[in-house]
Structure 1
Amino acid sequence: MNEIIDTVGKEITGVLHQVDSESVQRLAEELNNAKRIFVDGEGRTGLMGKAFAMRLMHAGFPVYVVGETITPSIAAGDLYVALSGSGSTGGTYTKADKAREVGARVAAVTANPESPLSQLADHAVYLPTATKKRLAHEPDTIQPLGNQFDQTLHLVLDASIIFAMEAFKSTSHEELKQQHTNLE
């Protein structure tokens, strides 16, 4: 078991060292400049998106998860954050295109820089990970399906929030705690 844990940790660390930190910093700037933020992704990647949205809310950002019953319509000045390992998830691409049509900016996080979603986005962050598709450019991994992408995605999105908080918000731990749910 320790060998598996060590291997997974080394794989994630190796990928993180290849991520373009300037593109993650620019994502943080996009978050800060947005009137409202709409986070979207399918399946397990969508679950990472919900965790990201929750952390944004804790940090005081106006954020919604696409597909929830209380999510309003997107508009000019908003940011649609599209999460897709392949960058070709049909529903995510279609919603990104719709967001662009109404004047919202689109930020994509994907493992495929040549994907349709990457080409559509105003800004894209590339995570050089393996996905369930196992394309030729993707690294080898012991992890099944898109685990490597989702784990890296979670850490990179957290880093973007930390950067945004330090650069733009000056949010203290106590302020974050005040945003945490109290209906527990």
Structure 2
Amino acid sequence: MQDIMRTVSEEVMEVLEEVSEEEAKKIASHLHEADRIFIAGNGRSGLAGKMFAMRLMHVGYEVYVVGETITPSITGGDIFLVISGSGNTKSLVDLAEKAGGAGAHVLAVTTDEESKLGAIALDTLVIPAVTKNDGSKKTTIQPLGSQFDQSAHLLLDSLIVYMTKYFAEDDENSWKGKHANLE
């Protein structure tokens, strides 16, 4: 088991080391400057998006997860961040087109800058990981899109650290006050 855990963590680290620091900083700046942030993804990518949304809320951003009952209409000045390994998931492409049509800026987190989402997005944060439909020569011991989802989670958590370091107006004490207390 230790060998498997070591291999998985090494695989994810190799992926993260290939992520463009410039792209990540641009995404962080867009998020920080947005009036509101809307996040969408399907499956495990969607769960990574929900975790990111929670942390954005904790550190002071107005953020919504698309599909939740309390999510308002998206408008100009808002950011629509979509997470998709392939970048071609039809339902997410459709949402990105709607968001762009409403005046929001679309940002994509995907493995393929030239995907349908990459073509729609103002900026794309590429995670060079293996996905479930990947035809690349990269290999992983992990099933389906696990390598992408894990890498996305850690990368998005890293964006939170970056954003709190360079943009934060509040401190950790105020962030703790925004953490759920009905647990």
Same fold? TM cut 0.5: yes
Quote the Cα distance in structure 2 between the aligned partners of 1:170 and 1:9.
Answer: 33
Give the partner amino acid of 1:100. G
Quote the Cα distance in structure 1 between the aligned partners of 2:27 and 2:170.
Answer: 18
Give the partner amino acid of 1:88. N
TM-score, length basis structure 2: 0.97
Quote the Cα distance in structure 2 between the aligned partners of 1:152 and 1:123.
Answer: 18
CA-CA distance at 1:165 after TM superposition? 1.3
Which segments of 5 or more consecutive residues in structure 2 lack a partner in the other structure?
A: none
Match of 2:141 in 1: 142
TM-score, length basis structure 1: 0.97
The alignment partner of 2:167 has SS state of helix
Match of 1:165 in 2: 164
Give the partner amino acid of 1:81. L
Q: Once superposed, which parts of structure 1, at least 4 consecutive aligned residues long, lie more than 6 Å away?
A: none
CA displacement 1:9-55 (0-9 Å, x = unmatched): 11011111100011111111011110000000001110111001000
Percent pairwise identity: 47
Which segments of 5 or more consecutive residues in structure 1 lack a partner in the other structure?
A: none
CA-CA distance at 1:80 after TM superposition? 0.1
Quote the Cα distance in structure 2 between the aligned partners of 1:11 and 1:177.
Answer: 32
1:24-43 aligned at under 5 Å gives the runs 24-43=24-43
Cα 1:155–1:171, aligned 2, differ >3 Å: closer, same or farther?
farther
Match of 1:111 in 2: 111
CA-CA distance at 1:174 after TM superposition? 1.2
The alignment partner of 1:151 has SS state of helix
What is the root-mean-square deviation in Å for CA atoms of aligned residues?
0.9
Give the partner amino acid of 1:30. H
* Greater Cα offset, 78-87 or 170-179: 170-179
Quote the Cα distance in structure 1 between the aligned partners of 2:36 and 2:145.
Answer: 28
In 1, are the aligned partners of 2:40 and 2:81 still within 8 Å (CA)? yes
CA-CA distance at 1:73 after TM superposition? 0.5
Quote the Cα distance in structure 1 between the aligned partners of 2:36 and 2:169.
Answer: 19
CA displacement 1:85-134 (0-9 Å, x = unmatched): 00001111101011111110000000112101011100100000000002
In 1, are the aligned partners of 2:127 and 2:152 still within 8 Å (CA)? yes
* Greater Cα offset, 164-173 or 125-134: 164-173
The alignment partner of 1:169 has SS state of coil
Match of 2:176 in 1: 177
Give the partner amino acid of 1:47. L
Quote the Cα distance in structure 2 between the aligned partners of 1:73 and 1:173.
Answer: 30
Give the partner amino acid of 1:77. G
Match of 2:64 in 1: 64
**Are positions 1:3 and 2:3 aligned together?**
yes
CA-CA distance at 1:170 after TM superposition? 4.1
1:67-146 aligned at under 5 Å gives the runs 67-136=67-136, 139-146=138-145
Give the partner amino acid of 2:92. T
Quote the Cα distance in structure 1 between the aligned partners of 2:9 and 2:136.
Answer: 23
Match of 1:156 in 2: 155
Give the partner amino acid of 1:78. D
Count residues with an aligned counterpart: 183
